[in-house]
Chains A and B, each alone.
Chain A
Amino acid sequence: MSGMRDRVKAEMPKVGRRRAVGDATRHHFHTRRKQWAKMTEEGRLQPLRDWAKAVKDQALNNNQQVVAKFQQSVEALGGHVHFAATAADCVRQVVEIATQHGAKLVVKSKSMATEEIHLNPALEAAGVETVETDLGEYIVQLAGEPPIHIVGPALHLTRYDVAELFEKELGEPMSTDPEALTAVARRVLRDKFLNADVGITGANAGIAETGTVVLFTNEGNGRMVTSLPRVMITVMGMEKVIGTWADFEPVLTLLPRSATGQNMTVYVSAVTGPRREGELDGPEELHVIVMDAGRSKLLGTEYQEALRCFRCGACLNCCPVFRQLGGHAYGTTYGGPIGITITPLMKGFVEHADLLDACSLCGACTEACAMQIPLHHLIRDLKAERAASAYTSGWERLLFRVWSWAWSSAGRFRWTGKLARLLAKPYTQDGYLTWHPGPLAAWGAERDFPAPAARSLRERWADLEREVNP
């Protein structure tokens, strides 16, 4: 398995992609910041954030009851609720439902949960054509790549890339105009919507009291998927369920404003049970799979806070590391600060512990998080767990041990300072090192490192004291 450092090194030369990621995240960062500034001026940002946090905390603290109520509500309307303990269970259940209905074609609206469990290859293997219908997701599906960003799956690709992908797929020449490309996608996917047997969605929220699944989409694909196919399957993380419609208000208000900076997503679709008597559209059969896949490991721990995440992507857009890399380099479904936080916890600490090093602990994510998840504090706490475990390098541990021993006494501090100065002396020029040994090599490849000063401040103090305190 390649480590984070290797993936970073592999990503750095992809200058064009990285620039596209940088431009897009910067754009989204600024639109959100503008929207937040407006809300702050109106005096409603912080109250809304507190309200949303309280709603989610309440639901997470009572997750079992809330999910049970959700199930009861859906079943009372004739829908089906399934539980999936693992990603594999979830995949199996979806494939089973689809094949039971003899599905040939499945249309999907954008869903990170199904990305997380790698649903599409399993459906394809079962002989079910599976089509992503969010434009960005459709593009990356054609490109054979996972989404690079929670909200903008294809933001690393240019119009030229998209035109090329469409040409290859459809076998006809394409304009590179985004409007024309969008029209092509509309035409192609319209046909899929009208002929699909099954629609698969994620969920931005589940409302327990009425058994409602809520989807936010700008394009209308979420509405198509929940209106036209005969069978609808929703894959929803267990943390998405909240208690009541009243609880939904702060989520509705904050999510679009934090994700894209819009006042409201174009379409918010709340689906409550299957099609009813006398209705002409909507699914005749509705399945909701409530998925754990590692989430319950966070419940009741300090990391439960991370389950408040509603996947707005604001932490990716503000993250100076994510801006350089995009999501692929993280090697996980969720990149950026939220990915660094939840992936080691949900998917295995050992394999994902090196994600923790892809963070400078700048705290921009914590500041940008609408749900007030203390992301960089959680990342630091995870580092502490790593340091206390066997997964940390012996050298690093030894270094910190020796260093903290040395510098926890002023005498040793002075002594090591002198030693460092002595050792550096032959390699010092104009106050900077000319040689960068050991861990300094990584610094010195592209940056200069200062040499210790000829006289430390404490050594200057006696003179200074006479001068400044006459």
Chain B
Amino acid sequence: MRVSFFATCLVDMFFPDIGESAIRVLRRLDCQVDFPMGQTCCGQPAWNSGFRAESERMAEAVIRAFAGSEYVVAPSGSCAGMIRTVYPALFEGRPELQAQARALAAKTYELTEFLVKVLRVDLRERGAHFDGKVAYHQSCHMTRELGVVAEPYQLLDQVQGVIRHDLERPDLCCGFGGTFSVKQPELSVAMLEDKLSDLDASGADILVGADPACMMHMKGRMRRLGKSQKVIHLAQLLEMATRPGRGEAKP
């Protein structure tokens, strides 16, 4: 299966390790991965702030970059959601672009969704193993726009050694919200504090996310406070769990 990796701007520029992990996991699951160099950013910050023309302009670039792809996979629920749920509506009245936007939307997946729905992986068969007490943060747009909720839990459950310490409200906003985090910083941090209390109460050592923006936010506060829990992307957990010599060697 041929997969074009949409890194998203944050992963490309700030968190390439997440991208590497995701690419390695896809590869181990027998995907042929490419990286279209024309890709930039999905345009979500502009869209969420109401700057439509600006988000359209960026969407056009993304549509062009992935025109020849079979599948597009992104390690971010909100960016995949932007392409899937917003792009087609952005080009209302521009039929040619709208058709292209629809085509892109139809072949774009968030990473965990792709693993479960398209690849239909069963990580148990591959002997995936990772020891840790894990809490998973759902991310708002991944949950409510894209509707991907069960898949990350399913994958976690397929990894031997993972002990789930679910948050009481894994779906509650971490307070990031794009420009919200700087337009209402006090509110944003207060919301984040609630999330971190939930994490503390969960007893987890590792906070797993599937949206780098939320992770950047949570980690930014945790680092400032000197909190002990680690924040990693689910792709990173899966990469460690399926590393050759660790999992695959097992019967």
Q: Which residues of A contact B (CB under 8 A)?
A: 4-5, 8-9, 12, 22, 320-321, 323-325, 357-364, 366-367, 380-388, 392, 396-397, 400-401, 403-405, 407-410, 413, 417, 420, 432, 439-440, 442-443, 445-453, 455-458, 460-461, 464-465, 467-469
Asked whether B35 lies within 8 Å of A358 as measured between CB atoms, the reply is: no
Q: Is B60 an interface residue (CB 8 A)?
A: yes
Contacts of B194 in A (CB 8 A): 22, 320, 323
Contacts of B221 in A (CB 8 A): 446-448
Nearest A residue to B180, CB-CB: A360
Contacts of A361 in B (CB 8 A): 48, 140, 177-178, 180
Asked whether B217 lies within 8 Å of A447 as measured between CB atoms, the reply is: yes
Q: Is B93 an interface residue (CB 8 A)?
A: no
> Of A382, A408, A440, which is in contact with the most chain B CB atoms at under 10 Å from its CB?
A408
> Given that A324-B190, A447-B221 are contacting pairs, would A366 and B144 also be in contact in the complex, using a CB cutoff of 8 Å?
yes
Nearest B residue to A384, CB-CB: B50
> Given that A363-B140, A456-B16, A468-B24 are contacting pairs, would A408 and B191 also be in contact in the complex, using a CB cutoff of 8 Å?
no
Contacts of A325 in B (CB 8 A): 187
> Given that A12-B190, A363-B145, A442-B182 are contacting pairs, would A452 and B13 also be in contact in the complex, using a CB cutoff of 8 Å?
yes
Asked whether B173 lies within 8 Å of A320 as measured between CB atoms, the reply is: yes
B70 CB to nearest A CB, Å: 15
Apart from the given pairs A404-B51, A417-B12, 15 other A-B contacts in the complex at a CB distance below 8 Å: A5-B183, A321-B184, A361-B180, A387-B49, A400-B46, A400-B54, A410-B65, A413-B9, A413-B40, A432-B223, A442-B181, A443-B185, A456-B12, A457-B16, A468-B27
Contacts of A357 in B (CB 8 A): 180, 183-184
Contacts of B187 in A (CB 8 A): 8, 12, 321, 324-325, 358
Q: How far is the CA of A58 from the CA of B47 in the complex (A)?
A: 31
Q: How far is the CA of A455 from the CA of B19 in the complex (A)?
A: 12
B98 CB to nearest A CB, Å: 18
A-B contact pairs, 11 of them (CB 8 A): A5-B183, A321-B191, A359-B177, A360-B175, A384-B50, A384-B51, A397-B51, A404-B58, A442-B185, A453-B14, A469-B32
Which residue of B17, B38, B145, B186 contacts A410 across the interface (Cβ within 8 Å)? B38
What 0/1 readout, one digit per residue, does chain B (117-148) give for beta carbons within 8 Å of chain A? 00000000000000000000000110111000
Asked whether B173 lies within 8 Å of A362 as measured between CB atoms, the reply is: yes
Interface residues of B in 131-179 (CB under 8 A from A): 140-141, 143-145, 171-173, 175-178
Asked whether A405 lies within 8 Å of B57 as measured between CB atoms, the reply is: yes
Asked whether B50 lies within 8 Å of A408 as measured between CB atoms, the reply is: no
Q: Is B97 an interface residue (CB 8 A)?
A: no
A139 CB to nearest B CB, Å: 26
Secondary structure at the B interface, as helix, strand, loop or mixed, is helix
Q: How far is the CA of A413 from the CA of B9 in the complex (A)?
A: 9
Q: How far is the CA of A367 from the CA of B171 in the complex (A)?
A: 11
Asked whether B173 lies within 8 Å of A458 as measured between CB atoms, the reply is: no
> Given that A321-B191, A361-B180 are contacting pairs, would A407 and B51 also be in contact in the complex, using a CB cutoff of 8 Å?
no
Q: Is B247 an interface residue (CB 8 A)?
A: no
Q: How far is the CA of A268 from the CA of B121 in the complex (A)?
A: 53
Asked whether A360 lies within 8 Å of B188 as measured between CB atoms, the reply is: yes
Closest 9 CB pairs of A and B: A360-B177, A383-B50, A404-B54, A387-B50, A362-B173, A363-B144, A447-B220, A457-B16, A362-B140
> Of A22, A361, A456, which is in contact with the most chain B CB atoms at under 10 Å from its CB?
A361
Asked whether A367 lies within 8 Å of B220 as measured between CB atoms, the reply is: no
Nearest B residue to A319, CB-CB: B173
Asked whether A385 lies within 8 Å of B50 as measured between CB atoms, the reply is: yes
Nearest A residue to B185, CB-CB: A442
Contacts of A366 in B (CB 8 A): 144
Contacts of B236 in A (CB 8 A): none
Asked whether B182 lies within 8 Å of A443 as measured between CB atoms, the reply is: yes
